[in-house]
Structure 1
């Protein structure tokens, strides 16, 4: 009887704990990652630069590359700087933008990438997708999954709480994304990958129902593991479908329409998820998501992050254009501006009662 299976791209090392950075040099000496010990390290100008002072003595043979931010230009510039130097691997050290830029640069030059995340702002820390700013706003680019992932909880605690909380919104938004995927399956026949869906759902539910806060190591570990699972779910499905639906369409519409004021990734995704659940009539789950976001200090109304109700209506109306071909509750309902305004008023009343 034949054995049927599939290979799932995944990191060879996932190290999530307090003090994990102390063992980074040992991890990079792993023959599966670096046979010759020739490493490039891309760092942000914030947390990455501060950690460089601490880590440089432990990595004397590494070459360090400052990266200006999470733009396609910065990623291409990094790739060009590394080209021809015969590195074994490249490390992305910093927040989500630097990790996304490093993943893209690593893919361009054919290097394995080690993700060393200094905050838990979104699931890009271990996903096969780089979201980078470009001349048209932002774009998502397919890249290989990181070969290793390191998250030091002591370092995460030093990050601004807003960026750690944002990861909560991104993880919980999986539940809205999965509802959209299942809707598309019913309405268009789109295939749902059961394994990817199970991984993404496990991640979202673990964060949604955990009683802890970002001050607890246990909760931070669960959140970090959830973001890893979300990234791996995308690797399994081959796209961002398990973790991106109407919630992320709304997020990307914020980015495109209001680039100077757009909320953090997870803030927009969490708010989008709560509203999208309300649109599909899942009011109890919408309220549960909103309650969890509120408990962690995340926005549940656009006014809480400086947007008027009318601006939010414009965002939701524009959102389907950000992901052509993706079917979500927004495409399914195809609401007019007036209908969105009425739905938002009802949502705001419902979650506030």
Structure 2
């Protein structure tokens, strides 16, 4: 059966050290009972963690190759054939997104145990899946009924993933500013709770006393920020609380294949600083936070063979990436955006950020 959730919000939310093997206890504590549980993981590190979880509880295991349409169909077929009633996704974004998508398509509960964090997709109602051409698509997904995050495991992941996670939360600032602009232009409605969840996720990080990616107290706050971002998207029924002009530009870079292959969160976090400048909302503490966690202050270094021509293409294409999504880019011409970028470069230099 499907357990009813308010707006499909998670029932289980655990963040602590050494808790990865406590899945069965958290299910019992919440009086959740399943008869056929499948642990889904990737091929590398997550496979080892998935094996520990499955072996401890006598659950079956399934290994994913990638987050493709084909893998989604294969897992969905398995779930339906063997009457799986709970999917436990153990891994990074590819595993979690595939499990959420299959949960949506097969009407099956799912629970997430991330082994890395790099973006706000942990519990969002959206899955990023590769189509037949290798291009990613953002598709509807079933939010996990729970998320269990073992800080000891997350802390061991490469620093670049933690940087990306911080960047993705940072992007909430420019995204919510764009949301306000759209609301003021009567283009969209607001959801106050979603708005404040998104803003509080990033403000708590920026104003934290001990900003250090390997600090367990900072990691707890970062995880909570990612989860709050996912809940904000679920409450609003859209990615709007966490996606604005910075994501439009990032999607354009990816679509044109001009990127240098950096993680999504790092890319949108870097671009968000420029979006904040366009919105006349940039502050010193935002720049200092980005520098401290390793987010590039200028995003042109993330573009392969950067040139004025490529920049122009990116800005033009960005307005096409999310039709109907109003942002600061709709208030400026492409030439104005390009001129503003040079002003932003000078702003960074003059303030010694």
Fold-level match, TM-score > 0.5? yes
Q: Which residue of 2 aligns with 1:253?
A: 252
Distance 1:185 1:136, change over 3 A: farther
- CA shift at 1:13, angstroms? 0.7
Determine helix, strand or coil for the equivalent of 1:168.
helix
- CA shift at 1:312, angstroms? 4.0
Distance 1:225 1:169 in 2: 14
Distance 1:170 1:148 in 2: 21
Distance 1:213 1:193, change over 3 A: same
Cα RMSD, aligned residues only: 2.0
Distance 1:161 1:221, change over 3 A: same
- 5 Å-filtered alignment, 1:235-274, equals 235-258=234-257, 261-274=260-273
Q: Does 1:348 align with 2:345?
A: yes
Distance 2:185 2:320 in 1: 19
Distance 1:209 1:95, change over 3 A: same
Deviations 1:232-270 (CA, angstroms, capped at 9, x unpaired): 011111111111111111221222111773421111110
Q: Which residue of 2 aligns with 1:70?
A: 67
8 Å CA contact retained: 1:33, 1:89: no
Deviations 1:117-152 (CA, angstroms, capped at 9, x unpaired): 111201100111112222372221122221010110
8 Å CA contact retained: 1:42, 1:98: yes
Residue 294 (structure 2) aligned to one of 290, 293, 297? 297
Normalising by structure 2, what TM-score?
0.91
Distance 1:166 1:240 in 2: 18
Distance 1:294 1:309, change over 3 A: farther
Q: Does 1:194 align with 2:192?
A: yes
Q: Which residue of 1 aligns with 2:215?
A: 216
Q: Which residue of 1 aligns with 2:317?
A: 318
8 Å CA contact retained: 1:25, 1:58: no
Q: Which residue of 1 aligns with 2:153?
A: 155
8 Å CA contact retained: 2:21, 2:52: no
Distance 1:218 1:151 in 2: 14
Comparing 165-174 and 134-143, the one that deviates more: 134-143
Determine helix, strand or coil for the equivalent of 2:88.
strand
8 Å CA contact retained: 1:172, 1:204: yes
Distance 1:253 1:46, change over 3 A: farther
8 Å CA contact retained: 2:64, 2:71: yes
8 Å CA contact retained: 1:92, 1:114: yes
Determine helix, strand or coil for the equivalent of 1:300.
coil
> Which segments of 5 or more consecutive residues in structure 1 lack a partner in the other structure?
1-5
Q: Which residue of 1 aligns with 2:228?
A: 229
Comparing 252-261 and 187-196, the one that deviates more: 252-261
- CA shift at 1:19, angstroms? 0.8
Determine helix, strand or coil for the equivalent of 2:94.
helix
Distance 1:203 1:309, change over 3 A: farther
Distance 2:253 2:31 in 1: 41
Q: Which residue of 2 aligns with 1:116?
A: 113
Distance 1:208 1:71 in 2: 35
Distance 1:68 1:32 in 2: 33
Distance 2:254 2:114 in 1: 23
Distance 1:230 1:49, change over 3 A: same
